[in-house]
């Protein structure tokens, strides 16, 4: 299974994205972008947002 985590910032150049592959009880970060354009990353079959404010 693959999940994508997005840390949205008020400033686009401070938005970060991580892609994590889950297999056999382990998680491995396969992609990490400290400065990201979110449009290209939200291509997963399922998307969830969590507001931790």
**What is the residue extent of each domain of the chain?**
2-40
Percent of the chain having pLDDT more than 90? 21
Is the pLDDT assigned to residue 7 strictly greater than 60? yes
Does pLDDT of 47 surpass 80?
no
Q: Which residues of 11-49 are buried (b: 16+ CB within 10 A; e: fewer)?
A: eeeebebbbeeeeeeeeeeeeeeeebeeeebeeeeeeee
| Residue 21 confidence (pLDDT) | 92
Of residues 3 and 9, the one with the higher pLDDT is 3
Average pLDDT over residues 21-47: 76
pLDDT of residue 22: 93
pTM here is 0.59
């Amino acid at each position: 299974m693959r999940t994508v985590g997005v840390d949205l910032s008020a400033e686009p150049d401070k938005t970060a994205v991580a892609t994590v592959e889950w297999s056999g009880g382990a998680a491995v970060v396969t992609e990490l972008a400290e400065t990201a354009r979110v449009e290209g990353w939200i291509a997963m079959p399922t998307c969830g947002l969590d507001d931790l404010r």
